[in-house]
């Protein structure tokens, strides 16, 4: 008996999701992979018993494997063979990137909200009781090795610190992968990703900015809002995905892009500007010259996000014009039950959708945002 056509893509999607959610899964089950015996792990290693380099490499490898599964098996079924077959390579790469970023960001959001957020304080910063960089400086200067148990950390605290480490490295890994997988990203996206990667490395490496070890909780407090906002951007990516899935129904595409734009504008205003700036202003005296550097970082990231919003605004205008031409040129071309798009991949319907785009002589719209 022949296997159902949906079985292979379903299994591929499940395996890809489990791989991308692996960092979150192992965090929620202490003792499953990472020990719950805190006398055997060091605070300098984030209570993980491996370095952040190993964490980053595993995150990257998981993304590589998930990428192959999604591109080869899952997305051709999800979008339909007819539609996926006529997409150019850049569009396919962006669709794969969109799906991977959504899954990774959802996993990071769950970890941050459920595990990391209780250890955040506007006054004291993030993990003020467990300063990893300060512990490393003590190791270098005084040759004192501090286990997580000696730092008076319980399993709950160790799990939260692990979640923070995994979330940062997972976000960094997906950006590094995307730059390699989609070299055709626009310059602003490249600058954004490179800036974030360098920021995570500089902010978390215990050998960099060692003289400011006492400020690490405040630095992490600022990073907390940026990472939380980045994880919530899964909603932005989800709306962009629906924009592409709704093709060629331009009116529906315009609505999804408006939703994406509105969510992104909210996240930029709150999580990328207002909340990080409140940390900088509240602790300006403690941060000293670093405060100016953080303001520059915030302004740069906000400017890149605004540039993306401008691109989306132009896409909305193009989609609306296309919708007007569709109504005027081929109002009855598509069946009524297909006007909202669906996961019913009838190849005849898909082909008809693609024919309508050709009849309208509409150039393929590419979303030039991260």
118-165 pLDDT per residue, tens: 999 999 999 989 988 888 888 888 888 899 999 999 999 999 999 999
Total structural domains within the chain: 1
Residue 241 belongs to a domain: yes
Nearest to 164 by CA among 23, 348, 66: 23
Secondary structure (DSSP) of 343-354: S---HHHHHHHH
pLDDT band, residue 65 (cuts 50/70/90): very high
User: Does 350 score more than 80 pLDDT?
Assistant: no
Residue 369 belongs to a domain: no
Residue 340 belongs to a domain: no
CA angle (219 as vertex; 216, 220 as ends), nearest 5: 85
Residue 42: strand pairing partners: 147
Strand locations in the chain (E): 120-121, 125-126
φ, ψ of residue 108 to 5 degrees: the values are: -65, -40
User: Does 341 score more than 80 pLDDT?
Assistant: no
User: Does 29 score more than 50 pLDDT?
Assistant: yes
- 103: how many CB neighbours lie within 10 A of its CB? 23
| Pairwise CA distance, residues 165 & 176, whole Å | 16
User: Does 329 score more than 90 pLDDT?
Assistant: no
pLDDT band, residue 246 (cuts 50/70/90): confident
| Pairwise CA distance, residues 155 & 32, whole Å | 13
- Is 195 exposed, middle or buried, given 0-12, 13-18 or 19+ CB atoms closer than 10 A? middle
- 370: how many CB neighbours lie within 10 A of its CB? 25
φ, ψ of residue 150 to 5 degrees: the values are: -70, -20
* Residue 350 near residue 245, CB atoms below 8 Å: no
Mean pLDDT taken over the chain: 84
* Residue 281 near residue 218, CB atoms below 8 Å: no
User: Does 46 score more than 70 pLDDT?
Assistant: yes
Residue 115 belongs to a domain: yes
Domain residue limits at 308: 7-325+347-359
Supply the pTM of this predicted model. Answer: 0.85
| Pairwise CA distance, residues 132 & 213, whole Å | 8
Contacts of 208 (CB under 8 A, 6+ apart): 201, 202
Residue 366 belongs to a domain: no
| pLDDT, mean of residues 62-84 | 91
C-alpha dihedral sign at 362, 363, 364, 368: negative
| Pairwise CA distance, residues 305 & 99, whole Å | 20
Residue 178 belongs to a domain: yes
Residue 1 belongs to a domain: no
Residue 89 belongs to a domain: yes
CA atoms within 13 A on the CB side of 217: 18
């Amino acid at each position: 008996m022949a296997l159902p056509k949906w079985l292979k893509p379903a299994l591929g999607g499940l395996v890809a999701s489990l791989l991308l959610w692996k960092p979150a899964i192992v965090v929620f089950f202490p003792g499953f992979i990472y020990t719950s015996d805190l006398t055997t792990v060091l605070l300098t290693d984030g209570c993980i018993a491996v370095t952040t380099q190993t964490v980053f490499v595993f995150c990257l490898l998981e993304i590589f494997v998930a990428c192959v599964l999604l591109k080869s098996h899952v997305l051709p079924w999800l979008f339909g063979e007819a539609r996926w077959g006529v997409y150019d390579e850049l569009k396919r790469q962006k669709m794969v990137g969109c799906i991977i970023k959504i899954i990774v960001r959802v996993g990071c959001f769950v970890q941050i909200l459920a595990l990391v957020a209780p250890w955040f304080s506007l006054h004291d910063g993030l993990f003020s009781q467990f300063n990893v960089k300060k512990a490393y400086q003590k190791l270098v200067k005084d040759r004192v090795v501090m286990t997580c148990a000696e730092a008076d950390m319980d399993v709950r605290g160790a799990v939260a610190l692990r979640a923070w480490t995994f979330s940062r490295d997972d976000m960094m890994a997906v950006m590094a992968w995307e730059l390699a997988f989609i070299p055709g990203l626009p310059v602003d996206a490249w600058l954004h990703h490179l800036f974030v990667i360098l920021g995570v490395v500089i902010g978390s490496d215990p050998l960099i900015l060692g003289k400011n070890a006492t400020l690490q909780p405040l630095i992490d407090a600022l990073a907390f809002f940026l990472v939380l906002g980045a994880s919530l951007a899964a909603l932005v990516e989800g709306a962009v995905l629906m924009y592409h899935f709704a093709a060629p129904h331009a009116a529906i595409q315009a609505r999804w892009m408006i939703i994406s734009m509105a969510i992104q504008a909210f996240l930029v205003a709150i999580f990328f500007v207002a909340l990080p700036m409140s940390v900088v202003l509240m602790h300006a005296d403690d941060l000293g010259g670093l405060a100016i550097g953080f303001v520059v970082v915030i302004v740069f990231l906000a400017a890149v996000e605004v540039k993306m919003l401008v691109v989306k605004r132009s896409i909305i205008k193009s989609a609306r014009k296309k919708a007007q031409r569709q109504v005027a040129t081929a109002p009855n071309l598509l069946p009524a039950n297909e006007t909202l798009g669906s996961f019913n991949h009838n190849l005849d319907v898909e082909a008809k959708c693609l024919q309508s785009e050709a009849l309208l002589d509409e150039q393929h719209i590419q979303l030039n945002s991260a």
